[in-house]
Structure 1
């Protein structure tokens, strides 16, 4: 079947938008073709500085014919109804309709066959509509036209079955023409080479002859290979940066790798500053000594030109710019290292963190208190944790971070070391933002762990206190990332903690402004009205807090419990990515007092392994049967069947055996749980499989005698209570 090629050629598209734009074009075109009745085979996209491309294989030459049926009135309907049906169905008379026999009364049915349409016609209708409504985050108009696009759109290449599909969009006529490299393929920038594409299969080669590498991955490969070769020729090693590589691939159509250098005197500046300056301002790669690993005074740049002088002028121009940029960076750094971190911290009092949470300095004070509280839990020195938290945000007021925000924390570490702070304190300043993404490592130094957890927990409780929670896809303060960061730090460091208590402690230090307090009081009163027996309100000066029973004797701030549910949702996402089942997480979190994330995960992992065994699968089915019986009968009797079954009412040998097994297994389960050996607890629980199976096989639970029935239901309730020591089996999917 024929293939389809669409290329939209424009002025330079920002590199960060190219891949998304190509994906959007593929999505919109596939939807339009499918809606038009055309099937689509394999699709692929290409993107670059001046073009986005969509290609599709095996698109039929025309859509299939369709038959539409329209049900009409009954044959006995009034004449007016029949006339309306004839008109609506496009018939000339009612005789053209088919009569359908039906027991409830015969009715008319109009059938109309619509012939298939040529694929070229469907494409010619779809593409202009897609171009006019293309979802660019920002767009512009140019000249006298009304079309909006990311940059001025110059041409549209559209081939189907190697033939041009002709249409027009705001004066731009589609065809089989595209354009080569702006400078290398034509006479000048205003007259690049016109490239006629005769065959879809020859599209990439045609552009290659016009000095355009159309596939982004090919440009990236050429850049990476060229950079490694240039580094190797100089006896150096390339500092790979996948983000910078992708950006450079999006900036050039014909990548040419060149190498330059800067003065050695700049190497006195921390290497992160030099590397960030070269990357941010000139999109250049850094190089290191292959022997020592130290930053070298060389860099790699990517040009879009093959210059007649071999690139000497291009390199010289970049060297001049980089020299100026590094001079600025050095100036900022030398000024910052002279300023005490204490003074920079004090300046945070002039910066508002959030209008309802006060200044950055107020937030630092909260983080200090929380870091000190966390220190014994993570094995850190409390004084060091508090000191690191006190200085952690100081470099936000530095000139270097003002120029390069991505260096926050890193600059603070360098200043701290220069001013004689302990290495653990300095490292914590740099590491407390970690992890900043799924691929980022978590801190492991105890002081760093304490400050990183304090920073993220304060961020979460601060916005929970003013009811600024994530909703749907909106998460402007990256609270989901903060929660996932806490989860990863806790799990990867094997930390034991009572998260609800920590959240309550953190919430106590939040002192929202008056406007937030009024909203908080209203929410508190509403919550108390809805939960009269489970809540109390304490506080003074309009700073109201609701406390609820956590389920294990603790009473904690109700917002901490709400936030704990948020952590449970984030933990589900994290564990699901690791291959765990979400229902097992629900089953564990349903137990009272489950805020030790490490133990929750270990329970989930043990439960998952147990349910993969034959014993686990069989026992789950039997327990679920017991739970269903209890749910039905307790609802019927409007009571719970708790307590011990009466020995004298155990009549059948199977129920006696089950009662005996429940007692024995209960001791083993409790002993295993006391040492947090969940594998052993589940292994003990598996011993109930045979007696429970025999009980259901031989014993009628709902006996005629009321006392016998109640006793047997009480026995089942003991099984429920025993499983609830491990997990809520009712939450587990069969």
Structure 2
């Protein structure tokens, strides 16, 4: 077995493209090899700013001969069909193979030298490479058919074992020579094979392994800051970017004027990160320090002093700009800034951002006044029905004076909502869009707004992603909920719901944000009908990602008609706990046995909108006043019989369990409902052991089927057990 090395050297590859480029190189080469019947034992890829490399380990010297066959017409087919097939295959009738009444054209495909396969693959992969952005260069670039690469391609190293694999593309010939570090070793290097590639380049100040470069930066920066009594603020994305910008990384610690620390720390960190690719540091008290770590791509003779000074000056200029934006923005109250929002179109069918602010402000106030969001910790407001729609006269606030502070909270929620988007027109957000909301919170606090209002302005976009914190402060929760609900309701109203993978207005993310705000704060809100299916799908996705079994989620959602997300999740949680117990597993088995018998008898399950219908005429047990004797009852006609002990025991158990489970569900005690159902386990087991359901006596058979239907319906009052696997 032999190893193959490919290095594609070019001018600087953007750091953001390197990871995907490595994946694409491995994928494209694997495809080319597979077409020739080859596969590498191991694939390794590397990327630096100036090179993209691939090592395929364990390739054979040649491909194996393979037999190929093409199916032809049947032996009974007309002669014209056979003649056409022979012409296409280039064979004679005698060369065909007959099998099961069908002709086959069988040909032997000889093996190929692996080096030849690689020689063909190299230009094919280069031409097919899917760079997000690419360029043409040189005289050939006048033609649109010329080679496109991320930056001008300068060299190709292609070695199979120790032999060069001949390849040529756009005037660049493959060979065994590459170059080292641009400054430390700009001369040519001859690579012997894949085995010495990494170490030869290391000796020439090029670390080709991106993971190793990341480790060097992380360790060096941590040691530098610790020596200075500081703590590095880790940033994995920035770490990868610095590794992608350097071939021989050297972390350096610098300082900037402490006067800039008057600017919000997030502004400083973003300025350093986005504009300069610098890390920031914290002092012993955990506050942002006037220090930064930059990554040089050269081992300077002066220890990097001039590099640090140059970077300090550039950062100072950037921080000066940031402070200018901050000071200028502070001179204009957010209330005045908000008046400019009517100049920004939110959506052509939904008006301006000012229009959205008006809707959100009313909805935020309504969420408080209706009791969805409470001013008191742990206090739950009443459920909210379809009247939760906003943007029209349907909103009818109903303040509850029994909750102290509700009026004040409603005022704060409305105030925060009216200021929340004002920072969109500030200079700081114009420079750093990532700061919207956050910088508005700083401005609100500095301009004397109530602390709860400033916090709501700052955090009203949260939660943005799965790892984001969920707000808990009542004012913030009200505004965050209102903002997301408004977007969902408005876009659905104009027919802009997400489709397939397309979600241009991030409505799926908004729905997940609403779900987390409601469930993690224990808020009771009935999702409007037109959004219910969409929220149900998002909730299913969230719960599956959290490790909840998909069949249990389906078992609860299949009940239908549930629009309270907190109640839905409580039911799912209780069901998951129950089915893992012996009682749950055995009840499930008994239920499925009953359901299968009913299905065979044509007794389909009740509809999801009518879970508790009366039993079918002619198929029910007599009531208690009829002495509990099973039989058929229809009008005045009754055919009674003496129930067997196991049959009577199941009736008695159902008489207790059914109402107990229903009452527990009504008070949202789903664990209690499961416990009530668990009492049916033993009676059901005994019933199936001792009773013949399909008795020859029609009365017994009908009554026993009705009893099984009653078992099924009792269970369906809690969850649709037919959806549960096992």
Give the superposition deviation at 1:658.
Answer: 1.9
Q: Which residue of 2 aligns with 1:642?
A: 615
Distance 1:322 1:259 in 2: 13
Give the superposition deviation at 1:82.
Answer: 4.6
Distance 1:590 1:642 in 2: 21
Deviations 1:67-98 (A, max 9, x none): 2234445656665555444444443x433334
Does 2:7 correspond to 1:7?
Answer: yes
Contact residue 372 and residue 525 of structure 2 kept, 8 A: no
Give the superposition deviation at 1:703.
Answer: 4.7
SS in 2 for 1:9: strand
Give the alignment partner of residue 496 of structure 1, picking from 517, 523, 527: 523
Contact residue 630 and residue 643 of structure 2 kept, 8 A: no
Q: Which residue of 1 aligns with 2:386?
A: none
Deviations 1:338-387 (A, max 9, x none): 11111111111111111111111111122112222333333232222222
Give the alignment partner of residue 113 of structure 1, picking from 99, 108, 114: 108
SS in 2 for 1:272: helix
Deviations 1:369-417 (A, max 9, x none): 2222333333232222222111111111111111111111121111111
Give the superposition deviation at 1:705.
Answer: 5.2
- RMSD across aligned C-alpha pairs, in angstroms? 2.5
Does 2:58 correspond to 1:58?
Answer: yes
Contact residue 135 and residue 148 of structure 2 kept, 8 A: yes
Measured at CA, do residues 641 and 31 of structure 1 come closer, stay the same or move farther in structure 2, by a change above 3 Å? Answer: farther
Measured at CA, do residues 253 and 79 of structure 1 come closer, stay the same or move farther in structure 2, by a change above 3 Å? Answer: same
Give the alignment partner of residue 233 of structure 1, picking from 227, 232, 249: 227
Give the alignment partner of residue 440 of structure 2, picking from 402, 412, 416: 412
Deviations 1:609-650 (A, max 9, x none): 222233322322321232344345446999987265334416
Q: Which residue of 2 aligns with 1:94?
A: 93
Give the alignment partner of residue 626 of structure 1, picking from 594, 607, 613: 594
Q: Which residue of 2 aligns with 1:601?
A: 569
Deviations 1:280-328 (A, max 9, x none): 21111112222x2222222211111223333233222222222211111
Contact residue 652 and residue 699 of structure 1 kept, 8 A: no
SS in 2 for 1:67: strand
Measured at CA, do residues 628 and 251 of structure 1 come closer, stay the same or move farther in structure 2, by a change above 3 Å? Answer: same
Give the superposition deviation at 1:701.
Answer: 3.8
Does 2:32 correspond to 1:39?
Answer: no
Contact residue 434 and residue 485 of structure 1 kept, 8 A: yes
Measured at CA, do residues 636 and 573 of structure 1 come closer, stay the same or move farther in structure 2, by a change above 3 Å? Answer: closer
Contact residue 211 and residue 254 of structure 1 kept, 8 A: yes
Q: Which residue of 1 aligns with 2:191?
A: 197
Give the alignment partner of residue 396 of structure 1, picking from 392, 416, 424: 424
Give the superposition deviation at 1:435.
Answer: 1.9
Contact residue 364 and residue 390 of structure 1 kept, 8 A: yes
Measured at CA, do residues 74 and 477 of structure 1 come closer, stay the same or move farther in structure 2, by a change above 3 Å? Answer: closer
SS in 2 for 1:54: strand
Distance 1:98 1:20 in 2: 47
Give the alignment partner of residue 715 of structure 1, picking from 680, 685, 707: 707
Distance 1:638 1:211 in 2: 74
Give the alignment partner of residue 457 of structure 1, picking from 467, 485, 498: 485
Equivalent residue runs for 1:200-349 within 5 Å: 200-290=194-284, 292-349=285-342
Measured at CA, do residues 480 and 652 of structure 1 come closer, stay the same or move farther in structure 2, by a change above 3 Å? Answer: same
Equivalent residue runs for 1:10-159 within 5 Å: 10-73=10-73, 80-91=80-91, 93-100=92-99, 102=100, 106=101, 108-145=103-140, 146-159=146-159
Does 2:357 correspond to 1:364?
Answer: yes
Q: Which residue of 2 aligns with 1:662?
A: 654
Give the superposition deviation at 1:487.
Answer: 2.1
SS in 2 for 1:3: strand
Does 2:377 correspond to 1:350?
Answer: no
Distance 1:355 1:223 in 2: 48
SS in 1 for 2:147: coil
Distance 1:636 1:331 in 2: 72
Contact residue 223 and residue 249 of structure 1 kept, 8 A: yes
Measured at CA, do residues 636 and 221 of structure 1 come closer, stay the same or move farther in structure 2, by a change above 3 Å? Answer: closer
SS in 2 for 1:218: helix
Q: Which residue of 1 aligns with 2:449?
A: 421
SS in 1 for 2:245: coil
Deviations 1:430-486 (A, max 9, x none): 111122222222222222222222222222222211221222222222222222222
Q: Which residue of 2 aligns with 1:577?
A: 545
Deviations 1:131-155 (A, max 9, x none): 1121122221111331112211222
Distance 2:348 2:9 in 1: 46
Distance 1:333 1:377 in 2: 36
Distance 1:456 1:231 in 2: 41
Distance 2:490 2:150 in 1: 39
Distance 2:535 2:9 in 1: 46
Moved more, 245-254 or 599-608: 599-608
SS in 2 for 1:57: strand
Q: Which residue of 2 aligns with 1:179?
A: 179
Q: Which residue of 1 aligns with 2:380?
A: none
Distance 2:240 2:102 in 1: 64
Consecutive unaligned residues in structure 2, runs of 5 or more: 141-145, 376-408, 608-612, 623-628, 632-640
Distance 2:195 2:120 in 1: 24
- Matched pairs, number: 662
SS in 2 for 1:224: helix
Measured at CA, do residues 568 and 62 of structure 1 come closer, stay the same or move farther in structure 2, by a change above 3 Å? Answer: farther
Measured at CA, do residues 473 and 51 of structure 1 come closer, stay the same or move farther in structure 2, by a change above 3 Å? Answer: farther
Measured at CA, do residues 390 and 113 of structure 1 come closer, stay the same or move farther in structure 2, by a change above 3 Å? Answer: same
Measured at CA, do residues 591 and 85 of structure 1 come closer, stay the same or move farther in structure 2, by a change above 3 Å? Answer: closer
Distance 2:706 2:670 in 1: 26
Distance 2:374 2:553 in 1: 28
Deviations 1:508-556 (A, max 9, x none): xxxxxxxxxxxxxxxxxxxxxxxxxxxxxxxxxxxxxxxxxxxxxxxxx
Distance 2:423 2:241 in 1: 28
Give the superposition deviation at 1:8.
Answer: 2.0
Give the superposition deviation at 1:591.
Answer: 2.1
Contact residue 641 and residue 717 of structure 1 kept, 8 A: no
Equivalent residue runs for 1:719-730 within 5 Å: 719-730=711-722
Distance 1:197 1:322 in 2: 41
Distance 1:85 1:345 in 2: 76
Does 2:463 correspond to 1:432?
Answer: no
Distance 2:329 2:39 in 1: 62
Measured at CA, do residues 637 and 235 of structure 1 come closer, stay the same or move farther in structure 2, by a change above 3 Å? Answer: closer
Distance 1:39 1:444 in 2: 54
Distance 1:76 1:344 in 2: 85
SS in 1 for 2:175: coil
SS in 1 for 2:341: helix
Does 2:352 correspond to 1:384?
Answer: no
Distance 2:247 2:290 in 1: 28
Measured at CA, do residues 108 and 316 of structure 1 come closer, stay the same or move farther in structure 2, by a change above 3 Å? Answer: closer
Measured at CA, do residues 442 and 78 of structure 1 come closer, stay the same or move farther in structure 2, by a change above 3 Å? Answer: closer
Give the superposition deviation at 1:158.
Answer: 2.3
